[in-house]
Amino acid sequence: MTNKEVPNIIIGRLPLYLRTLQQMAGQNRRVTSSQELGERLGISAAQIRKDLSQFGEYGKQGTGYDIPFLIAQISKILHVDRVWDIAVVGSGDVGHAVARYQGFTNRGFRVAAVFDNDPAKIGQKVGNFVIQDVANLIPEIRKAKIQVAMLAVPASQAQGVTDLLVQAGVKSILNYAPISLNVPAGVRVQYIDPAAHLQMLSYYMD
Amino acid sequence: MTNKEVPNIIIGRLPLYLRTLQQMAGQNRRVTSSQELGERLGISAAQIRKDLSQFGEYGKQGTGYDIPFLIAQISKILHVDRVWDIAVVGSGDVGHAVARYQGFTNRGFRVAAVFDNDPAKIGQKVGNFVIQDVANLIPEIRKAKIQVAMLAVPASQAQGVTDLLVQAGVKSILNYAPISLNVPAGVRVQYIDPAAHLQMLSYYMD
């Protein structure tokens, strides 16, 4: 079903559709429309229909989308019809918040391990996790077969830790360090840089 | 200089160019090229030249870009040649991390106030800030003329707080709550939703 040629910008909207549908399902809703989804998301109904049509025929003219069915379909497309374990590297303020973050439930991910290089932190607990020594990162990640990591280390250490994660077999990295990472083909990075997001807003301010 | 018609996707790359140039400047570099910027960012040199040409003529054939000059120009375009005060709403794990985040320095923003609605937290300190009662949000934000906010409250409270922020005169909101916000024309929102970012990665995983 998944077509690897679908533009990245469409892939980027699928999590928003899924999140909104899950919120509707949480309110015991059964059916929605591209119009309603569009209003909630500030995206045109035509765009939503076009995006979803890349993957199949999910709505019926006049009756709209079956919410549980569409949730199941988009979850399959995004490969979150399973739960992925995540390794968090760095247990400063950001790593701490990420390790304890409650927002992954039902969205396909769970934190499974937390690493740091600070002897004062190793062995301490963050949320339910004992902070492990980053020196053991490669064997621990391999043993646990973890393929997803969140990087919350200082910019100066981010590339070095990334190289370890890649060696350990990690395929997806969510990077909170404000630096662009070099990764080999087959490894993907998404960036969370609050200052960069804010600059996209200040562009429009006087 | 700023052309409001520039596509959003180009605006989204300017903070990455600026960040990379600032890192180069921090290493006492004076000159770079679209090739080098492209290699650091995983963007083609042609794309970078095309993006920058939307705003002016910044590079010279054969000599590349003057780093301090280009930093000054992009800072002006993004309106971060000044410092914007930010109000943080919500002082849970995410709000706490955001309020203490060191990554805004030299990037055009600084946290100026933190709000919460929890009586146990109001009056406590987070970083250098005394947590203020969200009941005073509108007068405090108006008094301080704050136009930028970071929203780190539960999804169930996010729209209500957003309505207060809009009333208070906030024009830009960075939203960490996993919900789409309704805002009037003239107010813009950027979203940070780690689960959505991870789902953009798991799409490509088997």
Looking at the structure, do residues A96 and A26 belong to the same domain, yes or no? no
Q: What is the pLDDT along chain A (206 residues), one digit of tens a residue?
A: 444 589 888 999 999 999 999 999 999 999 999 999 999 998 999 999 999 999 988 877 778 899 999 999 999 999 999 999 999 999 999 999 999 998 898 899 999 999 999 999 999 999 889 999 999 999 999 999 999 999 999 999 999 999 999 999 999 999 999 999 999 999 999 999 999 999 999 999 98
Give the domain range for residue A30. Answer: 8-77
Residue A204 lies in a domain: no
Residues A124, A185: one domain?
Answer: yes
| pLDDT recorded at residue A8 | 87
- Same domain for A179 and A94: yes
A120 and A187 fall within a common domain: yes
Q: What is the CATH number of the domain that holds A31?
A: 1.10.10.10
Tokens for A40? 């909630």
- Give the total residue count for chain B: 206
Is B55 part of the contact surface with chain A (CB cutoff 8 Å)?
Answer: no
* Shared-domain flag, residues B71 and B94: no
In the stretch 116-145 of chain B, residues with CB closer than 8 A to chain A read none
B23, B93, B190 member nearest A197 (Cβ) = B190
The answer, yes or no, to whether residue B111 has pLDDT greater than 50, is: yes
Q: Compute how many other C-beta atoms are within 10 angstroms of the C-beta atom of residue B60.
A: 10
Query: What is the complex's ipTM, to 2 decimals?
Result: 0.94
Nearest to B15 by CA among A15, A191, A104, A108: A191
Cα–Cα distance measured from residue B77 to residue B13, given in angstroms and rounded to the nearest whole number? 12
Residue B5: other Cβ atoms inside 10 A:
6
Chosen for mutation from A73, A200, A206 (greatest number of chain B CBs closer than 10 Å) is A200
Split into its structural domains, chain A has a count of 2
Q: Do B202 and A84 touch (CB under 8 A)?
A: yes
